[in-house]
Structure 1
C-alpha cells in the first residue's frame, strides 16, 4: 500500500553490512529501508542515491527484502526482476512511450479546438467572446480537479487501473463534445474530458519515479514532457485545418479516434509499476499459497491500516504538499505564473494573424511553430545535459546526489523568458512582417521549457515515493491559472493594445525571476527546514 512510508525502521530487515553511508541531509538514513522511486522514509522524501566521484558508479537505495520468519513480504533480492527498477530496458521504454503518447494527445486537446471557434460561432450563432474563450479554457479546469483525485488513487490502487480508467473517461467524453447541441453543453463535456485527460499528465511523473533511478530521470522526463508542452502547440496547427475544412465537430471526432487507439494499445501493453501495490499483491498470493494469515507487506505498518485511513491520507496528500511544503508552493506558484503567461500569449495569436496579417484559420495554426521550435530545441538540450550535470555536480559533492542539482540554469532561463513579450508585442503593434513576431516567440518556448523541465524533475527527485501527488499539486495549480487568466486577455489587449499589453506580460515575467533565484539559492534549506509528514 502507498500509505506506509512512515512505518518504523524496526519493521524492515536490513543487512548492516550493506547499509549505505549516511546522507548529509539525513544522518540516520542508513537505517531506513527504501524502494528507489517508490518508498521513502525521510521527512523530505529525498533519495539517497550515491555516485562514486571516481568511478562514477551508482549505489542505489536498497530494496526491502522478504523475511518470512518475521512474516514480512518484500522483494526476492536486489535483482528481483519483478521490481520495476529491474524491468528490462525495452519494457521500461515501451511503458514510457505509451504514457508519453497519451500525454501528447491530452494536452493537444486543450488547444486543438481554439482555431475552430469561428466554425462554432457560425454553427451556433454565439458571439460572446468570453463564453467562447471559456469553452476552450474549461478543459484546463478539468486538469485542476482531476489530478487531486487521480494521483492519490494511483498511490493506493496502482498506476495501471487509474491510468486506464482516466484514458477511457477522456475518450468517451469526446463523443459528448462532438455531439454537443449548444455551447453550454460543450463546456460541461469539455470539463469532464479534461478530468480524464489529466490522468496521463498526473501519473507520468509517478511512473518515471517507479521505473528510473534518479540519475536517469532527465532523459525519461524529457520524453514524457513533450506532450504537455508541445501538444498545445501542435493542437492549433491541426485544429485550424480541421476546423476550416471539416467543421468544429470533427476536431472531437479526430480526438476520439486517436485517443481510442492509444487507450487500446495501453490496455494491451501496460502493466503495474507501483512497488507497494505489487508487493501487496505478492503478499496476498503467498498468504494463500502458504496458508499464513500473519504475512504483511514490507510497505505496510505493523498492525495494518484501515482502507478508509488509506483513502483519507491519499486524497489529502496533494493538498498537504501544496499548502504545507513551502518548496512545493514556490514551485507551483512559479510554474502557474509562467503557464498563465503562455495561455495569455495564445489568446492574441488567432486574431493577430487572421485580422492583421490575413492568414486563413489553417495557416494561423502555423504561427504557433515559433513557440514549438523553442520548446523542441530546449527539450533536446535538457535530455542531453540534465543527467550529466547531476552526475558532475554529485562528483563534486562527495558523490551525493541532491535534488537542487537540477536547478543551476533556472535563473538564466527565467531571465530569457520576458524577451519574447517585448519582441512579439511591438513587432505586431507596428505591423512588422509576419515572420518577425513568429521568430520572436522562439525565446519564450526555449525559456519556458528551460524552466518547466528542471522544476518537474526536481519535484520527482524530492518526493519520489509520492511523485504523482507532488506532480498533481503542480498540475492543478498551473492548470487553474492557465484556465482563468486568459479570460482577461481580450479586455487587457483591447485597453492596452498589443505593444503595451505584451510589455505588461514581459514586466510580470521579469518580476518572477527572483522566485527562480530563491529556489536556486535557498531550495535545499527550505526543503530541509520544512519537512512534510505525508502519513499523518
Structure 2
C-alpha cells in the first residue's frame, strides 16, 4: 500500500504515493494546510460512528435504488410491448438492458468528477437528472423515447455504483471496510433481484407506467435525505476548503492544501477524466478484473431475461409469482455477503497480527475469489438441468440460490480489493471495472432467449457454466501473481 493511502487513515494525507517527504515538508512549511494532527475531528476517518453510518447508509440506499430501476419493470415488458403495438423480441430485451448500457458510460464521467469536485455535489446533480429521466420513462409517448430515457437514467444512475466505493474509502479504515462494502454492495446485486418482485405486483395492479412512478417516489425520498444529511468526505476537497478559508480570513494567498497538485484546473480536469481509462488500459490487474467481472455480471443480467422465460413458459407462473422467484438469487447473495464480510475481517486481522503493520496488502481480500469462481458454474448446471427436466420448481430456485452465492463472492472480493488497492482513486478504479461488466450486462441478455431456443435450458446453461470454468484459472493466477501485476502500474502514474 502506498504512503498516501497509509497517511490518509493516520490523518496525514500525502499528495501522491511515494512522496515520503510530505510530513517533513508540512512541518517546515507553515502555509501547507493539513489535518490538525491524527485526531483532527474534521478528518472523515475521525468522524463519529453515527456520522459515518449516516453517510454510508445514504450511499447504500441510493445504490439500491438505481440498480433496482434496471429490472423493476421487466415483468411488465409484455404489457408494454402490447401498448406500443410491437412484437420485436430483441427490442423487448433491449428496453430492459439498455439501462445497464448506460452504466458503462456514466462512471467514466462521474467518478473522475467526484475526485475533482467532491462526492456530494456529484450525487446531488445525478439525483436531479435521474429523477427527470425516470419521469420521462413514465410519460414516454413511444417505445423509442422510452429506450432513450432508460439509457440516460442508467448513465446518471451509475454515479453511486463507483462513487459509493470512494465514499466508503474516504472514511472507513481498512479493517472495518469489508462490512461497509458489504452493505454498499447489497444494492448492485440485491436491487435488480428485488426489482422484478416489486414490479410484478405493481404491474398487475396499476400497469407498467406506474412502476416508474413508484420508482420515482422511492428515489425522491433517498435524494431528499441526502440533501439534508450527506456530508462531503473526500480529503482533497476538504483540505482545499480549509485552505480557502484560511486564505479568506488572513488575506494571505500562500495557504494551500497539502494535497494540492499545483496543476491548473483544466489540466487537472483532463487528468481526472482519463484516469478510469488509463487504469483500464494500462493497469494489468484492473484489465484482468474488468474482463472477469464482465462474465460474472453479464450472467447476472442474463438471468433476469431467462428466469421469466423459464418460469412462465415451463412452470406457468403468473407475472407476480415470477417476481418472487428472484428471491432465490437474493437470499444466495445475502449468504455470500455474510460469508465474505466474516472471512475478510478475519483475514485482515490475521495478516495484521502476522506482519505487525497497520495496513496489509489488498490481495488479502481475494481469499474467497476462487470459492466464488467454483460455485458459480455449479449453480448454472443445477439451474439449467433441473429446469430442463421440469423437476419441482424449488430445484431451479436452489440453483439460483447457489448462483447468487458465487456471484456475490466474486463481486465483493474484486470490489473491496479495488477500493483497498486504489484507495484515493477508488471511484476511478471501480469505474474502470464497471465499464466492461455493464456492456456485458446489457448485451448478453439480448442473446439469451435465442440461445435457450437453440440449445435448450440444460445445454444453454451448461454452455454458460463451461465458459465460467474456462475462466477458472484466472482467480488462482491472480492470487499468485496479483501483487506483481498491481505493482506494474504505480498509483503515482495517475
TM-score, length-scaled by structure 1: 0.88
| 2:427 maps to 1:452 | no
Aligned match of 2:383 = 424
Q: CA deviation at 1:462?
A: 0.5
- Do 1:65 and 1:76's aligned partners in 2 also have CA atoms closer than 8 Å? no
For residues 12-27 of structure 1, the aligned pairs below 5 Å read none
2:117 aligned with 1:144: no
Q: Number of aligned residue pairs: give it.
A: 490
Structure 1 CA distance, aligned partners of 2:7 and 2:304? 44
Q: 1:64 to 1:73 in 2, by over 3 A?
A: farther
Q: Say whether 1:41 aligns with 2:41.
A: no
Distance in 1 (CA, whole Å) between partners of 2:473 and 2:64 is 31
Q: Among residues 188, 195, 198, which one is paired with 1:235 in the alignment?
A: 195
How far apart, in 2, do the equivalents of 1:368 and 1:69 lie? Answer: 59
Q: Is 1:500 matched with 2:473? A: no
- TM alignment of 1:378-397, pairs within 5 A: 378-397=336-355
Alpha-carbon separation, structure 1, partners of 2:351 and 2:5: 25
Q: CA deviation at 1:66?
A: 6.0
Distance in 2 of aligned mates of 1:357 and 1:295: 69
TM-superposed deviation, 1:254: 0.6
* Misfit runs of 4+, over 4 Å: 37-40, 62-69
Alignment partner of 1:339 is 2:297: yes
Match of 1:204 among 133, 155, 164: 164
Residue number among 282, 295, 307 corresponding to 2:265 in the alignment: 307
SS at match of 2:232: coil
The equivalent residue for 2:401 is: 442
Separation in structure 1 between the aligned mates of residue 7 and residue 25 of structure 2, nearest angstrom: 10
3-state DSSP of counterpart to 2:391 = coil
Q: Residue by residue, what CA displacement relative to the aligned partner does 1:8-28 show, whole Å, maximum 9, x if unpaired?
A: xxxxxxxxxxxxxxxxx77xx
> Residue 323 of structure 2 corresponds to which residue in structure 1?
365
2:305 maps to 1:352: no
Q: 1:98 pairs with 51, 54, 58, which one?
A: 58
Deviation at 1:521, TM superposition (A): 1.1
Change (3 A) 1:382 1:313: same
State the Cα deviation string for residues 236-287 of structure 1 (Å, max 9, x = none): 1111111122111011001111111110010000111001101111111101
TM-fit CA distance, 1:442: 1.1
Give the equivalent residue in structure 2 for 1:251. 211
8 Å CA contact 1:66–1:76 kept in 2: the answer is no
1:511 matched residue in structure 2? 470
Normalized per residue, which structure has more helix? 2
Q: Is the 8 A contact 2:108 2:276 kept in 1?
A: yes
TM-aligned CA deviation for residue 530 of structure 1: 3.5
State the alpha-carbon separation in 1 of the partners of residues 28 and 96 from structure 2.
Answer: 56
Secondary structure at the residue paired with 1:417? Answer: helix
SS at match of 2:8: coil
User: Counterpart in 1 of 2:47?
Assistant: 87
| Partner deviation per Cα, 1:478-503 (whole Å, 9 max, x = no partner) | 11110012111121111111111111
Please, which runs of 5 or more residues in structure 2 have no aligned partner?
Answer: none
Structure 1: distance between partners of 2:379 and 2:5: 48
What TM-score do the two structures reach when normalised by structure 2? 0.95
Query: Corresponding residue for 1:473?
Result: 432
Q: Secondary structure at the match of 1:333?
A: helix
Residue 360 of structure 2 corresponds to residue 401 of structure 1: yes
Instruction: Tell me the distance in 2 between the aligned counterparts of 1:354 and 1:412.
Output: 32
CA contact (8 A) 1:64 1:75 kept: no
Report what 2:284 is aligned to.
326
Structure 1 distance, partners of 2:444, 2:435, is 14
Please state how far the C-alpha of 1:385 moved relative to its aligned partner: 2.8
1:493-525 CA-partner distances (Å, limit 9, x unpaired): 111111111110010111111111111111011
Which whole-Å CA distance do the structure 2 matches of 1:405 and 1:96 have between them? 23
Deviation at 1:64, TM superposition (A): 9.2
- Secondary structure (helix, strand or coil) at the match of 2:9 reads coil
